[in-house]
Amino acid sequence: MTARIFVFVFVFVFVFGFARSAMADCRDESGEPIACTTAPPPEEHTHRERELGYVNVYPFVELGDLSGVRFSPDSPSSVPEVERGSHLTGMPSNFDHAFGGLTLGVGYRPLPWLRLPDVSASWGYGDLSGTNVRIEGGSQSLTGALHDVWLLRVQAAAGIDLDLDPVRLYALGHVGVAGYFAQVDVGGSSIGGLGSDTYSAVSLELGWTLGMEIELTPDVAYTLGYRHVHTGVEQNTFFFGINARF
């Protein structure tokens, strides 16, 4: 009986002392002991909610209709007199002109579902394989054959996301300005060949993009999609590349 009483007193003293010690560790502003409370766990965020923006790098292939812009000599002072003030006409109105190139873009997400702004720059090349055109507007009409065409484009866009983890769908509306630079073999029936000159055109491009991102890791995804431009050089573009998030 004595042993049981001894054990009971020992346990009571131990528990009471532990409780006082725990309370002593928690005090109010005046220094008085108070009951301790457990701090709430830190709020958790998914990696998608923490994203601020992204970088895109992707090659593209596009079919363009060059008949919608006006090509004129890139350096009028360096061409023969008969070409000055001229421009290209008679370019076929179709999407037979294929270009390939690379796009580098960066975007910001002020909200998880919003892309604003999305800015990109593209470089591309197309071989028109001697497309025949007329050169008019100078002192006499000439003929030409288009060969190499280079393009340089800058574009600004905004759009929305639909997150279907691990896939993200997005849609963008965009406006861009592009420069096209064509190498043209110039000639005339009465004067023969005049050599090769560069003719250039500026294209104001309005259009839209539909794309998809397929997540590989929390910070990297495949991106692919379709882009259409209605004005300037009307075009259909297909792309596939890498999207890095930060």
176 Cβ neighbours under 8 A, 6+ residues apart: 153, 154, 155, 156, 204, 205, 206, 207, 229
DSSP codes, 141-165: -EEEEEEEEEEEEEEEEEEEEEEET
Which residue's entry shows tokens 């259009």?
A: 207
**Mean of pLDDT over the chain:** 86
Domains and CATH numbers, the chain: 1-39 (no CATH), 54-245 (2.40.160.20)
The answer on pLDDT for 8 being more than 80 is no
pLDDT grade, residue 52 (50/70/90)?
very high
Lowest mean pLDDT among 31-40, 78-87, 108-117: 31-40
Query: pTM to 2 decimals?
Result: 0.78
pLDDT at residue 3, as a whole number: 52
Lowest mean pLDDT among 123-132, 188-197, 237-246: 188-197
> Among residues 80, 75, 88, which one has the least CA distance to residue 192?
80
